[in-house]
Amino acid sequence: MNRAVSLALWIGTFTGVGLCLGAALAHAAGLGASARIASLGVVALLLTPPLRLAVTAAAFWREGGRRYAAAAGVVLLALAIAAARALTR
């Protein structure tokens, strides 16, 4: 399980940071898409914690830790509700 969670964190982090670096390079080159690329990088970084929760819940479920999977699922649901409420304001 630790390996799966670690891999999810690495993927999310490197994707976000890579996109932000790409945006900086695009801006330095004078390309107009740099703002869009930077936005995608920030979104990737913001989606990394929910991805981690989803991977954790799935790993607990596979290992038979139903209570821990449910707890991770509840936290993921609360995070999704908070994000949805923030988007509607």
- Compute the CA torsion angle 38, 11, 55, 48 (nearest 10 deg): -20
- Amino acid letter, residue 29: A
pLDDT at 55: 94
pLDDT at 1: 75
Q: Are 17 and 41 in contact (CB under 8 A)?
A: yes
With pLDDT > 90 as the criterion, what percentage of the chain qualifies? 87
Q: Which domain holds residue 42?
A: 2-87
pLDDT at 67: 96
At 49-69, the pLDDT tens digits run 999 999 999 999 999 999 999
In the chain, how many domains are there? 1
Q: What are phi and psi of 88, to 5 degrees?
A: -90, -5
- pTM recorded for the entire structure: 0.76
Q: Are 14 and 43 in contact (CB under 8 A)?
A: no
pLDDT at 44: 94
* Torsion 33-39-41-44 (CA) sign: negative
